[in-house]
């Protein structure tokens, strides 16, 4: 069914179609309409789930961890400071290998307070071990949520589905809403191997010592470093797992094909603008203007940021003249996190482009097409300009 | 000093909806401060997140707009480091008793000299009308379209049980009563909790068919009665207003000073 709705409703609809069983959430702008929609679905009995309106984000994630440990498919959503308030629990959910799914409507972090969009909130959590998927439009939001549930339970790692606050969360766009039957055949019920079961008592996440030690049956069990090593290895294979899930999704629903990166006019391009999220669609207009002037430029968005699809990115950028990384987040005191990751991925490549870094849109600062055009034009004119100091767009000092 | 001199008018127009009770409560508070002849430089206001928390931006005191639920935690830090300052904390029902509930009971337990104002409109107004721990059973909210099943806290009982040494209740209708109570709360040495029932016509009123701001104000009048009044005696289901607790108990900063003095004496002797 084709509908026109907000990004938050697209996310809520994806959660409903995925038959999440427990939802715990706390209101925070701009995520709130998503959880309101879910509570409406649940209370009208359109959606058979437990909705728990908790007293904070910390509790929201705690409820999801507990629900998932008890074998339920659990979901929450948040933004900005709410995500950071969950931080302790985010690490716990990953370490406990719980297949949670969480939507994050990206928003800047206080202080000073801002309710507007940037991506510092989720980017600051990149090292927690969660899988991070970013959506560029409403269709990608609903599709990513459904795929995220399958991915999470396949690899036993929680997944964040991130989308730009307001720009996507509150705007209305047409998108295709899959049928329940189709989603049911794509996403089987959650059937965990280990879960809290009174018939089969177990000890979850017991204290580890620095070295390995035997478990109750006398067998040596993995210690802390082994458990964390395995998490990392599993995250690395997640890139292929997600590509396979996306392929399956494409076969069934006719949409997909760009699970890790999405490219626009990149094939013959000398220059590629690289970004995350909805900015990539705004950049398409700029790229078209520059193409009219004969500049061979394209745009690439990173769809899965963690695990980082380094090989795919190297393959896409290695033979270009310049990659221009535009970010709505910054690793303060250093450079844009995505910029650093891309340079790191290219380090061992035989050929590599120059890489430029721009910071923009923090706290919802308007991103003007003219500013993007000026920045990209400058980078394309002098790609050999070296320097890791990020350049700022739209700054009014 | 005129009340408007306590305001940072450069932040106006304020963000409160027409008919919101919060502006009236701010007015009561500023009149209390004016009548106590407190100097602006001796007042610190910390606030968290929500419609009520915006007050810290509108008043011309030292103000800290902190994180959701953390207003009392930040206030505790301010008060301990500068005990001579008057610390006033405006909070909403969600900020004070959901995400900040833990700080609320512990500030009361310590009996630290802070004035906590719970502006209770029984709803999360800023994020669009979700129910709060003060909404109570049978209320409609965006997170409870078919009414709530959650019981509510009674702020007065909770604060009293947790150890607050001054506990009172007023409403946005009873403007002068609020000023009088707030004056006593600010002067009280210890943790003071003043619950002031406010109205949110935009979310609570609309969802729960309580009419416009005027009829919601009317409800503050008809649904409450003063402690010890005949009206309350006749009709005990009314919500009591007035001062419930006003006791002298050791205050946390003063006790802490004593510990420091004792420890220093030990050290030098």
pTM value surpassing 0.90: no
At residue A386, the pLDDT reads 72
Inform me whether the C-beta atom of residue A26 falls under 8 Å from chain B C-beta atoms.
yes
Q: Distance between CA A135 and CA A10 in Å, rounded?
A: 11
Domain count, chain A: 2
Residues A172 and A25 in one domain: yes
Sign of CA dihedral A68, A70, A72, A76: negative
pLDDT in tens, B170-198: 999 999 999 999 999 999 999 999 999 99
Q: Distance between CA A279 and CA A276 in Å, rounded?
A: 7
At residue A385, the pLDDT reads 82
Interface test with A, best of B127, B129, B151, B203 (most A CBs within 10 A): B127
- The arithmetic mean of pLDDT across residues B14-32, rounded, is 96
Establish how many alpha carbons lie within 13 A of residue B17's alpha carbon, considering only the half-sphere containing its beta carbon.
Answer: 20
pLDDT in tens, B63-114: 999 999 999 999 999 999 999 999 999 999 999 999 999 999 999 999 999 9
Query: Final residue of a domain: which of A161, A186, A211?
Result: A186
Establish how many alpha carbons lie within 13 A of residue B66's alpha carbon, considering only the half-sphere containing its beta carbon.
Answer: 24
**Contact call for A81 and B67, based on CB within 8 A:** yes
- Within 8 A of A55 by CB-CB distance, chain B residues are 98-99, 101, 133
pLDDT band at A194 (very low <50, low <70, confident <90, very high): confident
* Domains of chain B, each with CATH number or no CATH: 3-268 (3.40.50.970)
Domain assignment of residue A384, yes or no: yes
- Within 8 A of B133 by CB-CB distance, chain A residues are 55
Interface test with B, best of A55, A79, A84 (most B CBs within 10 A): A55
pLDDT in tens, B100-157: 999 999 999 999 999 999 999 999 999 999 999 999 999 999 999 999 999 999 999 9
**Is-cis flag, bond preceding A190, omega within 30?**
no
Q: Distance between CA A129 and CA A89 in Å, rounded?
A: 12
Inform me whether the C-beta atom of residue A166 falls under 8 Å from chain B C-beta atoms.
no
pLDDT in tens, A131-144: 999 999 999 999 99
Closest Cβ opposite residue A55 in set B49, B67, B101: B101
DSSP lists the bridge partners of residue B65 as B47
Closest Cβ opposite residue A55 in set B99, B126, B146: B99
Residues A182 and A273 in one domain: no
**Contact call for B142 and A36, based on CB within 8 A:** yes
Inform me whether the C-beta atom of residue B99 falls under 8 Å from chain A C-beta atoms.
yes
pLDDT band at A201 (very low <50, low <70, confident <90, very high): confident
pLDDT band at A351 (very low <50, low <70, confident <90, very high): very high
Q: Distance between CA A310 and CA A326 in Å, rounded?
A: 17
Q: Within chain A, where are the H helices?
A: 7-17, 32-43, 57-69, 80-85, 87-95, 120-123, 138-155, 180-186, 224-253, 279-292, 310-317, 337-346, 369-381
Domain assignment of residue A209, yes or no: no
Domain assignment of residue A205, yes or no: no
The domain containing residue A111 runs over which residues?
2-186
Residue A4 to chain B, least CA–CA distance (Å)? 21
For A196-217, give one letter per residue: b (16+ CB within 10 A) or e.
beeeeeeeeeeebeeeeeeeee
Of the candidates B102, B41, B91, B84, the one whose C-alpha atom is nearest the C-alpha of residue B66 is B91
Domain assignment of residue A251, yes or no: no
- Within 8 A of B145 by CB-CB distance, chain A residues are 39-40, 43-44
Q: Identify the closest residue of chain B to A24 by CA–CA distance.
A: B143
pLDDT band at A387 (very low <50, low <70, confident <90, very high): confident
At residue B170, the pLDDT reads 98
| Angle, alpha carbons B43-B44-B49 (nearest 5°) | 140
Of the candidates B93, B155, B100, B105, the one whose C-alpha atom is nearest the C-alpha of residue B130 is B93
Radius of gyration of chain A (CA): 21
Residues A24 and A120 in one domain: yes
Residues A179 and A58 in one domain: yes
Residues A165 and A304 in one domain: no
Distance set, CA A277 to CA A28, A259, A327, A361 (Å):
20, 13, 10, 12
Domain assignment of residue A332, yes or no: yes
Domain assignment of residue A255, yes or no: no
- Within 8 A of B49 by CB-CB distance, chain A residues are 113
Residues A43 and A172 in one domain: yes
At residue B203, the pLDDT reads 96
Of the candidates A40, A364, A246, the one whose C-alpha atom is nearest the C-alpha of residue B143 is A40
Residues A145 and A277 in one domain: no
Residue B49 to chain A, least CA–CA distance (Å)? 10
Inform me whether the C-beta atom of residue A36 falls under 8 Å from chain B C-beta atoms.
yes
Contact between residue A97 and residue A156 where contact means Cβ atoms under 8 Å apart: yes
Residues A286 and A162 in one domain: no
Closest Cβ opposite residue A53 in set B68, B143, B146: B143
Contact between residue A342 and residue A325 where contact means Cβ atoms under 8 Å apart: yes
A positions 85-124 inside 8 Å of B (CB): 85, 110, 113
Inform me whether the C-beta atom of residue A29 falls under 8 Å from chain B C-beta atoms.
yes
Residue B152 to chain A, least CA–CA distance (Å)? 13
Query: Final residue of a domain: which of A171, A186, A201?
Result: A186
Residues A29 and A144 in one domain: yes
Domain assignment of residue A357, yes or no: yes
User: How large is the ipTM?
Assistant: 0.74
Residue A233 is classified by DSSP as H
Residues A148 and A30 in one domain: yes
Query: Final residue of a domain: which of A186, A202, A222?
Result: A186
At residue B1, the pLDDT reads 80
For B137-151, give one letter per residue: b (16+ CB within 10 A) or e.
eebbbbbbeeebeee
Rounded to whole angstroms, the maximal C-alpha distance in chain B is 70
DSSP lists the bridge partners of residue A164 as A106
Domain assignment of residue A305, yes or no: yes
pLDDT in tens, A337-348: 999 999 999 999
Residue A396 is classified by DSSP as -
pLDDT band at A78 (very low <50, low <70, confident <90, very high): very high
Q: Identify the closest residue of chain B to A32 by CA–CA distance.
A: B127
Instruction: Read off the CATH number of the domain in which A67 is found.
Output: 3.40.50.970
pLDDT band at B267 (very low <50, low <70, confident <90, very high): confident
Inform me whether the C-beta atom of residue B143 falls under 8 Å from chain A C-beta atoms.
yes
Residue B215 makes CB contacts below 8 A (sequence gap 6+) with B205
Inform me whether the C-beta atom of residue B7 falls under 8 Å from chain A C-beta atoms.
no
Contact between residue B63 and residue B137 where contact means Cβ atoms under 8 Å apart: no
Of the candidates A38, A93, A27, the one whose C-alpha atom is nearest the C-alpha of residue A63 is A93
Closest Cβ opposite residue B130 in set A27, A56, A57: A27
At residue B38, the pLDDT reads 95
- The arithmetic mean of pLDDT across residues B2-26, rounded, is 93
Instruction: Read off the CATH number of the domain in which A332 is found.
Output: 3.40.50.920
Residues A48 and A144 in one domain: yes
Inform me whether the C-beta atom of residue B124 falls under 8 Å from chain A C-beta atoms.
yes
Residues A33 and A166 in one domain: yes
């Amino acid at each position: 069914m084709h509908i026109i709705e907000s990004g938050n409703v697209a996310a809520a609809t994806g959660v409903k179609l995925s038959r999440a069983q427990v939802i715990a959430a706390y209101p925070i702008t701009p995520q709130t309409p998503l959880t309101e929609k879910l509570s409406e679905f649940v209370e009208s009995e359109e959606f058979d789930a437990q909705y728990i309106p908790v007293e904070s984000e910390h509790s929201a994630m705690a409820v999801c961890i507990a629900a998932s440990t008890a074998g339920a498919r659990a979901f929450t959503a948040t933004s900005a400071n709410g995500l950071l308030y969950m931080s302790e629990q985010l690490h716990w959910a990953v370490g406990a290998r719980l297949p949670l799914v969480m939507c994050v409507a990206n928003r800047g972090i206080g202080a000073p307070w801002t309710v507007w969009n940037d991506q510092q909130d989720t980017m600051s959590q990149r090292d927690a071990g969660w899988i991070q998927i970013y959506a560029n439009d409403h269709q990608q939001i609903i599709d990513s949520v459904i795929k995220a549930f399958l991915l999470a339970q396949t690899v036993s790692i929680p997944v964040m589905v991130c989308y730009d606050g307001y720009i996507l969360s509150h705007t209305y766009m047409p998108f295709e809403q899959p049928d329940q039957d189709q989603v049911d055949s794509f996403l089987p019920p959650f059937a965990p191997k280990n879960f809290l079961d009174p018939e089969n008592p177990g000890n979850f996440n017991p204290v580890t010592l620095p070295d390995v030690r035997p478990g109750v049956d006398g067998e040596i069990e993995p210690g802390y470093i082994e458990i964390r090593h395995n998490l990392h290895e599993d995250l690395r294979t997640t890139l292929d797992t997600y590509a396979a899930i996306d392929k399956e999704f494409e076969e069934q629903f006719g949409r997909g094909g760009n699970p890790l990166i999405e490219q626009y006019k990149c094939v013959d391009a000398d220059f590629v603008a690289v970004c995350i999220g909805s900015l990539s669609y705004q950049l398409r207009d700029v790229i078209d203007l520059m193409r009219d002037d004969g500049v061979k430029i394209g745009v690439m968005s990173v769809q899965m940021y963690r695990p980082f699809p380094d090989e795919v990115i190297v393959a896409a950028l290695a033979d270009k003249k310049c990659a221009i990384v535009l970010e709505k987040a910054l690793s303060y005191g250093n450079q844009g996190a995505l910029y650093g990751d891309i340079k790191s991925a290219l380090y061992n490549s035989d050929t590599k482009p120059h890489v430029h870094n721009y910071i923009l849109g923090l706290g919802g600062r308007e991103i003007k097409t003219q500013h993007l055009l000026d920045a990209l034009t400058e980078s394309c004119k002098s790609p050999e300009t070296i320097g890791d100091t990020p350049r700022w767009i739209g700054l009014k000092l | 000093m005129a009340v408007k001199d306590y305001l940072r008018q450069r932040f106006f127009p304020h963000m409160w909806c027409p008919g919101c009770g919060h502006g009236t409560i701010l007015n009561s508070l500023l009149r209390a401060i004016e009548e106590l002849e407190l100097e602006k430089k001796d007042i610190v206001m910390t606030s968290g997140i929500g419609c009520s928390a915006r007050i810290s931006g509108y008043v011309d005191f030292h103000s800290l707009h902190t994180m959701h639920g953390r207003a009392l935690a930040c206030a505790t830090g301010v008060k301990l480091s500068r005990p001579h300052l008057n610390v006033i904390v405006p909070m909403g029902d969600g900020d004070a008793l959901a995400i900040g509930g833990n700080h609320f009971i512990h500030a009361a337990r310590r009996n630290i000299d802070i004035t906590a104002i719970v502006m209770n409109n029984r709803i999360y107004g800023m994020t669009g009308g979700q129910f709060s721990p003060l909404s109570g059973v049978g209320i409609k909210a965006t997170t409870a379209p078919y009414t709530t099943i959650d019981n509510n806290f009674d702020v007065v009982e909770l604060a009293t049980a947790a150890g607050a040494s001054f506990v009172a209740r007023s409403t946005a209708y009873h403007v002068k009563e609020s000023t009088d109570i707030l004056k006593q709360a600010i002067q009280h040495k210890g943790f003071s909790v003043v619950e002031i029932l406010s109205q949110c016509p935009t979310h609570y009123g609309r969802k729960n068919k309580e009419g416009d701001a005027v009829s919601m104000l009317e409800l503050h009048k008809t649904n409450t009665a003063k402690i010890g009044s005949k009206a309350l005696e006749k009709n005990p289901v009314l919500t009591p207003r007035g001062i419930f607790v006003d006791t002298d108990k050791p205050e946390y900063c003063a006790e802490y000073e004593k510990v420091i003095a004792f420890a220093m004496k030990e050290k030098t002797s």
